[in-house]
Amino acid sequence: MHINGKKTKILPLVIGIAIVLILLFKIGIEDTFFLILQINPFYFWLSFLLMLSIIILKAVRHAIIGSKIQSEPFTLIKISFVGQLLNLINIGASELSKAYLFKKIFKVPFGMAAVPSVVERFTDIIVITLFALVGLILHFNFPYVVFAVPPLLFIGIYLFIKFPIGPLKKISHDFTEGCELVGLKTSVGCIFFSFIIWLIEVTTVYLILLGLGCTPLIYMEVLGVVAVSFVVSTSIHLNIGGLESCLIFFFALIGISTETALACSLIYRGIVVMQVAILGTYGLHTLFHTDEDKMVVEE
């Protein structure tokens, strides 16, 4: 797929998979998979359902914002599914792919098509920054936390907004027009969606850890670990591999073994990849199949 004339880079995906394999061999494949197989089925399926709700909520959020520009919510939901799939390949690919598909399907300028993705990213920034600050400052008693958090979050936020904002430099007029159509009220309202999404995200990881036998477990510590791990993995431009490494490192600080942390991250990643692959493939197939049908009718 070409987006704005550039191929979606797969190097981060290759590096990420290599990191996961190194972690597996370093920590121990047998021990890790033994832990994975021992997870409590109740917690696993509850986590599975929560993760599915996250994917759907993200799609609904995209549809709510995008419908202010083009009122076809089901098409917008499919676009979101595709974007979430491509985000596994490369951080930033989600925003660009959703904007590209929006532009292609609805025949609007790219700047306007990118507005829903940018609004989503900004609302995510607000919530994940809040979670990281609350989780770290209140539940990590390290003297350097106060000094480490601001620059860390600054780098993370810069990279969060770099990818969707970068291509918009020369099309600011269309982007501004799109923002006016979406409106401040809708944008602010999407913060609520982002809050629920990230709360469920943290809860999913928390439940997986409970299923692996991690008790007692403080929810706010898990919140801090998950939030900072997402910020750091985005800062180093690695989704797969980067997130797993961060979770292992930060979970160690709250007393969770490397084997358990890796097992947790692999279960989480496995659920995400499976669900996003199915829904993303469905989105791709139906979007382009419908597009082909329209072309046949026109001919």
Write out pLDDT tens, residues 59-92.
999 888 888 887 788 888 999 999 888 887 766 6
Residue 143 pLDDT > 80: no
Residue 172 confidence class, pLDDT cut points 50, 70, 90: low
Residue 204 pLDDT > 80: yes
Pair 119, 58: CB distance under 8 Å: no
pTM for the predicted model, two decimal places: 0.80
Which of 51, 91, 85, 80 is closest to 268 using CA atoms?
51
Name the residue range of residue 293's domain: 2-298
The pLDDT of residue 295: 40
Share of the chain above pLDDT 70, in %: 70
Which of 234, 125, 129, 114 is closest to 164 using CA atoms?
114
Residue 7 confidence class, pLDDT cut points 50, 70, 90: very low
- Supply 229's token pair: 């791990």
Residue 10 pLDDT > 70: no
Residue 104 pLDDT > 80: yes
Q: In the chain, how many domains are there?
A: 1
Round the average pLDDT of the chain to a whole number and report it: 77
Q: What's the pLDDT tens digit per position in 227-253?
A: 888 877 776 666 666 777 888 888 887
Residue 39 pLDDT > 80: yes
Residue 209 pLDDT > 50: yes
The pLDDT of residue 299: 41
Q: What's the pLDDT tens digit per position in 16-29?
A: 677 667 776 777 77
Which of 255, 127, 266 is closest to 205 using CA atoms?
266
Mean per-residue pLDDT, 5-20:
61
Residue 142 confidence class, pLDDT cut points 50, 70, 90: low
Q: What's the pLDDT tens digit per position in 251-282?
A: 887 888 888 888 898 899 889 989 999 999 99
Q: How far apart are CA 205 and CA 198, in angstroms?
A: 11
Which range among 22-26, 117-121, 139-143 has the greatest average pLDDT? Answer: 117-121
Which range among 77-86, 116-125, 169-178 has the greatest average pLDDT? Answer: 77-86
Residue 290 pLDDT > 60: no
Q: How far apart are CA 213 and CA 223, in angstroms?
A: 18
The pLDDT of residue 85: 87
Please tell me the least confidently modeled range out of 100-109, 129-138, 199-208. Answer: 129-138
DSSP per-residue codes, 125-170? HHHHHHHHHHHHHHH---TTHHHHHHHHHHHHHHHHHHHHHGGGGG
Q: How far apart are CA 103 and CA 97, in angstroms?
A: 10
Q: How far apart are CA 63 and CA 46, in angstroms?
A: 26
- Supply 134's token pair: 């609350």
Residue 47 pLDDT > 70: yes
Q: How far apart are CA 132 and CA 130, in angstroms?
A: 5
Pair 165, 95: CB distance under 8 Å: no
